[in-house]
Amino acid sequence: MKQLAPILAVVNLILLVHGDERSAVGDPGMKRDGLRVAFEAWNFCNEVGFEAPHMGSPRAADCFDLSSKCIKAYTEDQSNKTTSGSSLVHKVSDSDNELGIGKPKPGIISESALHNPDLYAVEKELYLGSLCQVSDKPNPWSFWMVMLKNGNYDTKSALCPKNGKKIPPFNQPGLFPCFGSGCMNQPTLNHGKTELQRDGQTMKGWFNGTYEQGADFGNGLDGISYYEVVWEKRVGVGGWVFKHKLKTSAKYPWLMLYLRADATKGFSGGYHYDTRGMLKTLPESPNFKVRLTLNVKQGGGAKSQFYLLDIGSCWKNNGKPCDGDVTTDVTRYSEMIINPETPLWCNPKSLHNCPPYHTFRNGTRVHRTDHRSFPYEAYHVYCAPGNAEHLELPVGTCDAYSNPQAQEILQLLPHPVWGEYGYPTRLGDGWVGDPRTWDLDVGGLSSRLFFYQVID
């Protein structure tokens, strides 16, 4: 399950308000020279659990402004010569990024969080967000978020709830990947703080690391997991290009790496704490679009999913907004998978893997039992929230442990029915060798997708 080396660049999310277009992200098109980017790592159920040795809490940030300056120099004849140059003024110190449990930060880290890895990460993220915050209208914003997740789950650890409810340790070998005690560890984090390169025009920075503690990259990457995110831009030209690499290993066969645009305040998809991010306005269906450029360099085989876009939101089964009560909140995901090797799990013989119905753009609704009209090949899989009480059978429920609360997932595949929204229509669209800039009517598509809801 070796995974991909994708390149992402220039992301914008556009709100359509009464016919007027305005950007919902703090840095439209990633064109701002003063970058704001952060890092977070999650265990299987989107918490910390345990920090990696000597790494601090798994939150970090690289935020800076570009400062222009004039440099006076003397020529050989001793006459003055003035040239212009630039420097990066960083907002986050190394000591800020190294904060971890047991390290006090008066006024920032509370007593209740000081020795609690989960709560410490929450408060550290809010602190980093305050250092990186950019004033804007209608709301300030903080940073793009690089998110890394370890899919190992030790069922004997009691670290993860079941559909939001705490459960005791249980033994179920083979249900989830885990090599034994310690399999849910956090990764190492190496940080190359953004710098101006020798040409004086190129800015570049990076994060990388591995889950194999003590691994030496100098000996190569064979047999170990590895992640890398590099960002690069020329001063005053174009947008930031983000280059992602992710490699799994025998011990860590299930890893996820995202570039996220999270809410600037409140809950983000899959996370039940107050967060910081790029979305200065929360988008609502059907009135928002996303523009992004994507160039996938290498795939990871049939077991490796790759999302062109993943939209995560949260509301209760009665339609009310999430309020932090993990026993009733539900994370909802819609994901477009563009790896052409992805199998077709939704089909006439496996209706439990399909949503109950499909709604075409013109409003026509087709039930999944309509074998002539239902577009089975447009869906990889649907799974319902585990706390739903009035499900239409047959149905599969989502994994109950990999979120802090119940979740609902709808995974899409390239198909002609999505073409009206700007999404890929054929297997292989946007994959290796087919770099594209996508203009996606995400709000329009989302408003037609099935999600479970019972109105009181």
- What is the SS3 assignment for 29? helix
Query: Are the beta carbons of 267 and 125 closer than 8 angstroms?
Result: no
pLDDT at res. 214: 86
How much is the pTM? Answer: 0.91
For range 254-275, the mean pLDDT = 82
Tell me 334's DSSP state: E
For range 248-265, the mean pLDDT = 92
Query: Are the beta carbons of 60 and 207 closer than 8 angstroms?
Result: yes
C-alpha count within 13 angstroms, C-beta hemisphere, residue 230: 10
pLDDT at res. 23: 87
pLDDT at res. 73: 43
How far apart, in whole angstroms, are the C-alpha atoms of residue 279 and residue 281?
Answer: 5
Q: Walk across the sheet containing 406-412 and list its strands.
A: 307-314, 330-337, 406-412, 379-383
Structure confidence by residue, pLDDT tens digits, 395-426: 999 999 999 999 999 999 999 999 999 999 99
Q: pLDDT tier at 19 (50, 70, 90 boundaries)?
A: very low
How far apart, in whole angstroms, are the C-alpha atoms of residue 24 and residue 279?
Answer: 6
Q: Which of 12-21, 105-114, 309-318 has the lowest mean pLDDT?
A: 12-21
End-to-end CA separation in angstroms for the chain: 44
Residue 238 has pLDDT above 50, yes or no: yes
Query: What length is written for the chain?
Result: 456
pLDDT at res. 70: 47
The contacts of residue 186 (CB under 8 Å, 6+ apart) are: 41, 43, 48, 49, 50, 51, 52, 55, 58, 150
How far apart, in whole angstroms, are the C-alpha atoms of residue 93 and residue 96?
Answer: 5
- Averaged pLDDT score across all residues of the chain: 90
Relative to beta strand 330-337, strand 406-412 is parallel
CB atoms within 10 A of CB 153: 23
Residue 3 has pLDDT above 80, yes or no: no
Ramachandran quadrant class, 349 (left: phi over 0; alpha: psi -120 to 50; beta: rest): alpha
Top pLDDT among 176 and 7 is at 176
Structure confidence by residue, pLDDT tens digits, 146-202: 999 999 999 999 999 999 999 999 998 778 999 999 999 999 999 999 999 999 999
Query: Are the beta carbons of 153 and 400 closer than 8 angstroms?
Result: no
pLDDT at res. 207: 98
Angle in degrees, CA 376, 379, 382, rounded to 5: 110
% pLDDT > 90, the chain: 78
Residue spans of beta strands (DSSP E) within 75-140:
80-90
Domain residue ranges of the chain, discontinuous segments joined by +: 28-279, 283-455
Structure confidence by residue, pLDDT tens digits, 48-100: 999 999 999 999 999 999 997 644 444 444 444 444 578 999 999 999 999 99
pLDDT at res. 45: 94
Structure confidence by residue, pLDDT tens digits, 316-349: 999 998 988 999 999 999 999 999 999 999 999 9
% pLDDT > 70, the chain: 91
pLDDT at res. 7: 44
CA distances from 221 to 216, 218, 248 (A): 8, 8, 10
Residue 315 has pLDDT above 60, yes or no: yes
CA distances from 390 to 131, 331, 395, 403, 454 (A): 46, 18, 11, 21, 8
For range 109-129, the mean pLDDT = 97
pLDDT at res. 270: 62
Find tokens 């019972």 and name the residue: 454
pLDDT at res. 10: 47
